[in-house]
Chains A and B, each alone.
Chain A
Amino acid sequence: MLEIKNLHARIAEDGTEIIRGLDLTVKAGEVAAIMGPNGSGKSTLSYILSGREDYEVTEGDILYNGESILELDPSERAAKGIFLAFQYPVEIPGVATMQFLKVAMNEQRKYRGEDELTTPEFMRRVKEAAAELKIAPEMLRRPLNVGFSGGEKKRAEILQMALLEPKLCVLDETDSGLDIDALKVVADGVNALRSPDRAVVVITHYQRLLDYIVPDTVHVLYKGQIVKSGDKTLAHELEAKGYADIIEAAA
């Protein structure tokens, strides 16, 4: 589903290279975890996948379902099924969460040549998904992410993911800021979306999340490269020993 080949990317403004020859393949149905020390380029990778203009790809390619997506706008990539749950969700003042959801869902449908959802159908879907994630209907009337607690913001991200039904889900530290119960709710939400035609990339620092969302593969990102890959046991190893050994071996 996702093939990243020898990707090099830099900050457009000052030319600093952040991603330095990164290779990664994620198959449909797979859950891949990406771990790595602070500042190693995990969030940057997620932005580049979703097409943020602040970064420039200088070498390599990103294939999504066998086709390069480098020329696509962020909104086109999204409509094609790439979803990013942000590490720091952004506040949109004055725009009710409900309204935002409706616009996003319908714009994606429009792009794919589908009819707009009727209001009752939209309401039904939102209510159902919100209930699953234990999100109070009251919250849906508030402006998106404005004044939401850290945990509420993360839950709202997963709600959007559930409703937009993407094919490639990238979760950037969705576990940070969640209490234990919320972590369970969010993980259940993600697990419910696992399916043979959907891939999930989980960026995290902690084994705790991976206890709930059990990954098929684990990759260590360091200085803009994947320096080690393995199965779920790699995450346990990192939890016990930290990154020192791997970094040393890679250097």
Chain B
Amino acid sequence: MPAVQETIDQVRQIDVDQYKYGFETTIEMDKAPKGLSEDIIRLISEKKNEPEWMLEWRLEAYRRWLTMDEPSWARVRYPKIDFNEIHYYAAPKGTTGPKSLDEVDPELLKVYEKLGIPLKEQEILAGVEKTKIAVDAVFDSVSVVTTFKEELKKAGVIFMSISEAMREHPDLVRKYLGTVVPQSDNFYATLNSAVFTDGSFVYVPKGVRCPMELSTYFRINERNTGQFERTLIIADEGAYVSYLEGCTAPQRDENQLHAAVVELIALDDAEIKYSTVQNWYPGDKHGKGGIYNFVTKRGDCRGKNSKISWTQVETGSAITWKYPSCILRGDGSRGEFYSIAVSNGHQQVDSGTKMIHLGKNTSSRIISKGIAAGVSDNTYRGQVSAHRKAENARNFTQCDSLLIGDKCGAHTVPYIEAKNSTAQFEHEATTSKISEDQLFYCLQRGIPEEQAIALIVNGFVKEVIQELPMEFAVEAQKLIGISLEGSVG
């Protein structure tokens, strides 16, 4: 064994989890006491300086939530969550909302720097060949900064934290919030409606093509804190926006809850492209710790010929429960779902999508690539339905699973329902293993086993990677390689 390899192996043995975002930052925090009650909700609302109607909306959701049960249909197992052991609000001291960059605590800026998230506009501009990306950085419960706001404003694009939007654009927020994912939608979405703390708000006006990629970067830092973010994106008639979301959390022994809601609304001829690279802490190799990720994401193609496209790369979290969906309401609208879900160690993934065809001549496309390694479980759960009036609905679903080793599981659970006889739905599914032949072939060319697996897996997911914006695609490929390290031998 060459010395270099030996060193690498030694380092690996020390850092079994290889989760490079696992660092913790000590920043003075302002925290609500543990537990959930109407008082806590009032406190959150007050901290955020919210209008009265918002508080009422939250309380209504909370009362509803008290009557609901946690869903149990997903193929995931975890101990019962004690919702009173969680802090529902945690913010770096002195931040009630985003400030201008020079006012932000330098310690916080360092965190994002360490994570590779560019927050300093000058620096971003200095890198000539890099494309501009506007970032909203959310740290535990609050947005700490949003970049390029001025430049976006010139184009008429509103991009700010949702708390800010509630104060500055109450009419827009009130008009759209909860219209795609209603307060009563499901257990976690209802909880989110009651306690959501921050998230991003985007409004792209009629006919405007957003001049840069928008992105939100979520970081859970505090112990025993839940992150409940809420994102609302509206593309008005003929508008276009591409939005990216990234997430990480420190390495911790206990599980942390993340229950987000994302609502997308595309009006006539509008298009929204939403990409996620989810890399929450997955837990250690014994299955200890990690984020419970219970997320409701839904897009409403409200206008004719509108289009919503979800692309997700899921590598983190101990448990993933997530089904980004499209309601194809407008005639001629189109929904897309491209997904890569990687599970290793003890991770459990139950993810997929719903394509609900309501309008005439609507179409949808689902490409799902699940990769399971270690002792993980990876389930694709998808629903495609055409309602009575959905003339000529079209769907194509391709769902491929790749197994690495023989202790993991991949499952495909498709629900297909057509109430209109003109619907044409196609479903293809495959399950395969990385073949010994492929692996040996790569090894024979001098490619070591882990790199060989990463190469083969990246080939397997290529169709989805191609859908990601350039910068994200490279990052995603690396991330998949890292997530699968230690998956063999």
* Alpha-carbon separation in the docked complex, A168 to B460 (Å): 32
B438 & A92 in contact (Cβ 8 Å cutoff): yes
| Residue from B436, B448, B459 within 8 A of A94 (CB atoms) | B459
Contacts known (A95-B456, A95-B459); A104 close to B446, Cβ less than 8 A: yes
- Please provide the chain B residues from 412 to 468 with a CB less than 8 Å away from any CB of chain A in the complex: 435-438, 440-449, 451-452, 455-456, 458-463
In this assembly, does B2 line the interface, its C-beta being within 8 Å of a C-beta of chain A? Answer: yes
**Contacting residues of chain A (148-185) with chain B, CB-CB under 8 angstroms:** 160, 164
- Interface stretch among A30-38, A78-86, A124-132? A78-86
Question: Of A73, A86, A108, A164, which is within 8 A of B441 by CB?
Answer: A86
Mark out the residues of chain A between 65 and 107 whose CB falls within 8 Å of any chain B CB in the assembled complex. Answer: 73-75, 78-79, 83-84, 86, 89-95, 99-100, 103-104, 107
**Cross-chain contact B461 with A73 (CB below 8 angstroms):** no
Residue among A54, A91, A94, A95 with most chain B CB within 10 A: A94
Q: Across the two chains, which residue of chain A brings its CB closest to B457?
A: A94
Residues of A within 8 A of B440 (CB): 47, 52-53, 74, 90
**What residues of chain A lie closer than 8 Å to B451, measured between beta carbons?**
103, 107
Asked if A225 is at the interface of the complex by the 8 Å CB criterion, the answer is no
Please determine whether A93 and B446 come into contact, CB atoms closer than 8 angstroms: no
The reply to whether the CB of A21 lies closer than 8 angstroms to some CB of chain B is no
Cβ-defined contact, A93 with B460, below 8 A: yes
Q: Which residues of B contact A107 (CB under 8 A)?
A: 445-448, 451
Chain B positions within 8 Å of A99 at CB level: 455
In the complex, which residues of chain B have a beta carbon less than 8 angstroms from the beta carbon of A92? Answer: 438, 441-442, 455-456, 459
Chain A minimum-CB-distance residue to B3: A113
| Contacting residue for B449 out of A75, A104, A113, A160, CB 8 A | A75
- CB of B445 within 8 A of CB of A78, answer yes
Closest to B441 in A: A90
A113 to B3, alpha carbons, bound, how many Å?
A: 11
- The reply to whether B443 and A90 form a contact with Cβ atoms under 8 Å apart is no
* Interface membership of A29, Cβ < 8 A: no
Contact in complex: A90, B437 (CB < 8 Å): yes
Query: A103 and B455: CB pair below 8 A?
Result: yes
How far apart sit A111 and B4, CA to CA, in the bound complex (Å)?
A: 9
The smallest beta-carbon distance between A220 and chain B, in angstroms, is 26
In this complex, the interface size class of chain A, counting residues with CB under 8 Å from chain B, is 20 to 34
Assess whether B441 is in contact with A89, with CB atoms less than 8 Å apart: yes
Residue from B4, B443, B459, B462 within 8 A of A75 (CB atoms): B443
Give the Cβ gap from B442 to chain A, nearest Cβ, in Å. 7
A85 to B47, CA, bound (A): 68
Q: How far is the CA of A19 from the CA of B455 in the complex (A)?
A: 33
B460 touches A94 (CB 8 A): yes
Residue of A nearest to B462 (CB): A94
Interchain CB contact under 8 A, A111 and B2 = yes
In the complex, the answer to whether B438 meets A90 with C-beta atoms within 8 Å is: yes
Chain A hits for B444, CB < 8 A: 50, 74-75, 78, 83-84, 86
Smallest Cβ distance from A203 to chain B, in angstroms? 15
- Asked, given contacts A93-B459, A94-B459, A100-B455, whether A78 binds B441 with beta carbons under 8 Å apart, the answer is no
Min CB distance B1 to A, Å, is 9
Please report the C-alpha to C-alpha distance between residue A104 and residue B452 in the assembled complex, in whole angstroms.
Answer: 9
Which residue of chain A lies nearest to B451 when distances are taken between CB atoms in the complex?
A107
Known A92-B459, A95-B455, A107-B451: A160·B445 in contact at CB below 8 Å = yes
Is A60's beta carbon under 8 Å from chain B? no
- B405 → chain A closest CB, angstroms: 15
Please indicate the chain B residues that have their CB under 8 angstroms from the CB of A41 in the complex: none
The answer to whether B443 and A78 have CB atoms under 8 Å apart is yes
A107–B442 CA distance with the chains assembled, in angstroms: 11
CB pair A104–B436 under 8 Å, yes or no, is no
Of the listed residues A47, A52, A75, A113, the one surrounded by the most CB atoms of chain B closer than 10 A to its CB is A75
B441 close to A75 (CB less than 8 A): no
Q: Is the CB of B443 within 8 A of A104?
A: no
Select from chain A the residue with minimum beta-carbon distance to B463.
A94
Across the interface, do B446 and A94 meet the contact criterion of CB distance under 8 Å? Answer: no
CA distance A164 to B446 in the complex (A): 9
CA A107 to CA B2, docked complex, whole Å:
14
Contact A79:B446 (CB < 8 A) given known A103-B451, A107-B451: yes
> Closest Cβ of chain A: how far from B445's Cβ, in Å?
4
Specify which of B447, B449, B452, B462 lies most central, judged by the most chain A CB atoms within 10 Å of its CB: B447
Report the minimum CB–CB distance from A113 to chain B (whole Å). 8
Given A52-B440, A86-B441, also A111-B446 (CB < 8 A): yes
Docked-complex contact B445 and A164, CB < 8 angstroms: yes
Collect the chain A residues with CB atoms within 8 Å of residue B442's CB: 92, 104
Q: Which of B4, B452, B455 has the most CB of A within 10 A?
A: B455
Give 1 or 0 for each of A180-220: 1 = CB within 8 Å of chain B CB: 00000000000000000000000000000000000000000
Residues in A whose Cβ lies below 8 Å from that of B462:
94-95
Contacts of A111 in B (CB 8 A): 2, 446
Q: What is the CA–CA distance of A93 and B461 in the complex, to the nearest angstrom?
A: 10
**How far is the CB of A89 from the nearest CB of chain B, in Å?**
7
Give chain B nearest CB distance to A80 CB in angstroms.
9
Contact present for B447 and A143 (CB under 8 Å): no
Name the CB-closest residue of A to B452.
Answer: A75
* A94 neighbours in B (Cβ, 8 Å): 458-463
Residue in chain B with minimal CB distance to A89: B441
Cα-based distance from A111 to B463 in the complex (angstroms): 31
Name the B residues within 8 Å of A93 (CB-CB): 459-460
A51 contact set on B, CB distance < 8 A: 443
Where the two chains meet, the residues of A that have a C-beta atom closer than 8 Å to any C-beta of B are: 47, 50-54, 73-75, 78-79, 83-84, 86, 89-95, 99-100, 103-104, 107-108, 111, 113, 143, 160, 164
**Among all A-B residue pairs, the 3 with the closest Cβ atoms:** A94-B459, A78-B446, A95-B459
- 5 A-B residue pairs with Cβ-Cβ distance under 8 Å, sorted by A, are A47-B440, A90-B438, A94-B463, A95-B456, A107-B447
Binding site for A on B (CB under 8 A): 2, 4, 435-438, 440-449, 451-452, 455-456, 458-463
A-B contacts besides A75-B447, A92-B442, 19 pairs, CB < 8 Å: A50-B444, A51-B443, A53-B440, A54-B436, A74-B440, A75-B444, A75-B448, A78-B444, A78-B446, A83-B444, A95-B459, A99-B455, A100-B455, A103-B447, A108-B446, A111-B446, A143-B459, A160-B445, A164-B445
